[in-house]
Amino acid sequence: MNFADACMHPYPHGDSSVRRLAHEAAARGYDGIVCVGISPPPDTPVRVIPAAVVAGKTFKDISVQVRRESRSADLILACAGDAGLNRALLSYRGIHILKGVHAAPRRAFDHICARNAADSEIAVDISLQPLIGSRGAARQKVLQCYADILRLQRRYGFRLAISSDARSVLDLRHVRVIPHLCGLFGMEPAETTAALGTVGRLLHPDMPVEVLE
Amino acid sequence: MKPRPPTLRDRRRYVLAACAPEYREPDPKTLYYTVLDAATALYGDAATAAMQISVMAGVRGYAILRCRRGEEWRMITACATVTSLNGSRIALHPVAVSGTMHALRRRIRSIPEPSDGEEVMLEGEPYCVRQCSGQNIDLIKKSIKNQKTLYFTQKDREEF
């Protein structure tokens, strides 16, 4: 998968069905979508990856949820919390993507979190929803947060994932527009393309080379 | 003021944007103020003035916007942050960029009048089925206040 959206919320969490989201995603240039809380229907134009979002105050709460959800979901997305929780989550290989860093307290994602994310191969989610849906000071805060994450990513080399956090087909944006939206906080087009391919690399990680005879 | 000779005029680019939902027919004046607000919020007054945005036409499902050459991607990015028009939700997706409106008009696909069909009950509430192009259907909740729309496909409806 070259272009996959890292998080969508179909009906009943949102107002669009999985099939409709898949059709719209195909029309907008995606070849895969990650949908939360559903089982994927068989006949969709793009690959639908079932996922679960886990959230909690403590690492124990989250690890219990991860063990329960990992039976049915291919990808586990954990909501970010304070710095201590984020450091613990990013050292735990049961989760795949850390989301909601923009909504976490200030300095909740620091250089230690960045190093842990790089070591554990956990991606950090860049949600486009606050860039599209908010205005003024709220959007400026999100842009600052994403610029900060990008600076750490360039230093430590952890993975970034891009999600629309779409609850409706009207929240989806075309793949061609995403590099320009990400350019608002200094992300280069090549970095955006790599981030859009992160979901595929999380599902099929690079394995050690096996020599056959 | 006398019009400038062609060699002294600014070069322009025209952008064809598809509206979602596709049955929306945007009013050019309202869309102009909405896009201008979005561009100002994103880039500020000075950069928005340099873009020279205007809305040339609005037909069912499409709008043609104009800006100064070289600023088209900034305008498209501003259009991506438009989420509502006249109080109802909308999304603008770029289809094509050209130096002439004529080239863009050829890209416009005629969208049939949406047909409102029968009623269905979903979670105990009545919805009116609106048939869109292809397999898509929109379910519009029948109420005066808080009109809610659900975006489904025919296959989803068969599974109700």
Residue B2's pLDDT band, with cuts at 50, 70 and 90, is confident
The DSSP code for B37 is H
Query: Which CATH number describes the domain made up of A4-203?
Result: 3.20.20.140
Cα separation of B55 and B45, whole Å? Answer: 18
CA atoms within 13 A of residue B101's CA, in its CB half-sphere: 11
**Domain ranges in chain A?**
4-203
State the helix-helix crossing angle for B28-43 and B72-80, rounded to 10 degrees. 100
**Pair type for strands A32-36 and A47-54:** parallel
Residue A211 pLDDT > 80: no
The distance of A116 to chain B (nearest Cα, Å) reads 33
Cα separation of A171 and A10, whole Å? Answer: 12
Cα separation of A16 and A166, whole Å? Answer: 9
Chain B partners within 8 Å of A183 (Cβ): 77
Residue A206 pLDDT > 80: no
Q: Do B153 and A171 touch (CB under 8 A)?
A: no
Cβ atoms of residues B80 and A28 within 8 Å: no
Prior bond of A130 cis (ω within 30°): no
State percent of chain B over pLDDT 90: 59
- Among the partner-chain residues B76, B93, B151, the one whose CB lies closest to the CB of A20 is B151
- CATH classification (class only), B10-105: alpha beta
pLDDT digit string, tens, across residues A168-201? 999 999 999 999 999 999 999 999 999 999 999 9
Whether complex ipTM tops 0.95: no
- Among the partner-chain residues B94, B149, B152, the one whose CB lies closest to the CB of A177 is B94
Q: Which of A75-89, B9-23, B101-115 has the lowest mean pLDDT?
A: B101-115
Q: Do B90 and A170 touch (CB under 8 A)?
A: yes
Radius of gyration of chain A (CA): 16
Cα separation of B81 and B76, whole Å? Answer: 9
Residue B146 pLDDT > 70: no
Task: Share the mean pLDDT of chain A.
Answer: 93
Q: At a CB cut-off of 8 Å and minimum separation 6, what does A99 contact? A: A6, A7, A53, A77, A78, A79, A80, A125, A127, A163
